[in-house]
Amino acid sequence: MYENWFMAALQQSWMEQALALAAQALGVSEPNPRVGCVIVSADGQRLLGRGSTQPAGQAHAEVMALRDAQAAGHDVRGATAYVTLEPCSHHGRTGPCCDALAGAGIARVVSAIGDPNPLVAGQGHARLQAAGVQVECGPGAAESRELNIGFFSRMVRRTPWVRLKVAASLDGRTALDNGRSQWITSEAARADGHAWRARSGAVLTGIGTVLEDDPRLDVRLAPVARQPPVVVVDSKLETPPAAALFQDGRPVIIYAAADEPARRAALEARGATVVRLPGAGGKVDLAAMLLDLGAREVNELHVEAGFKLNGSLVREGLVDEFLVYLAPRLLGSGAGMVNIGPLQELRDAVSLEFRGIERVGEDLRVLARIPGRADF
> Tens of pLDDT along the chain (376 residues)?
556 667 678 888 999 999 999 999 999 999 999 999 999 999 888 999 999 999 988 999 999 999 999 999 999 999 999 999 999 998 777 889 999 999 999 999 999 999 999 999 999 999 999 999 999 997 899 999 999 999 999 999 999 999 999 999 999 999 888 877 888 999 999 999 999 999 999 999 999 999 999 999 999 998 888 899 999 999 999 999 999 999 888 999 999 999 999 999 999 999 999 999 999 999 999 999 999 999 999 999 999 999 999 999 999 999 999 999 999 999 988 888 998 878 888 888 999 999 999 999 999 999 999 999 999 9
How many Å apart are CA 125 and CA 140, to the nearest integer? 17
User: Is-cis flag, bond preceding 342, omega within 30?
Assistant: yes
CB neighbours (10 Å) of residue 257? 20
Report strand pairing: 36-40 vs 321-327.
Answer: unpaired
* 302, 165 contact by CB (below 8 A): yes
Active site residue 62: yes
Residues 6 or more apart whose Cβ sits within 8 Å of residue 73: none
Question: Percentage of residues in the chain with pLDDT exceeding 90?
Answer: 82
Inter-axis angle of helices 2-23 and 61-71, nearest 10: 110
Provide the β-strand partners of residue 137. Answer: 111
* 10, 16 contact by CB (below 8 A): no
- This prediction has a pTM of 0.93
Q: Can you tell me whether residue 268 is helix, strand or coil?
A: helix
Q: Can you tell me whether residue 28 is helix, strand or coil?
A: coil
Q: Which residue of the set 3, 16, 30, 62 is catalytic?
A: 62
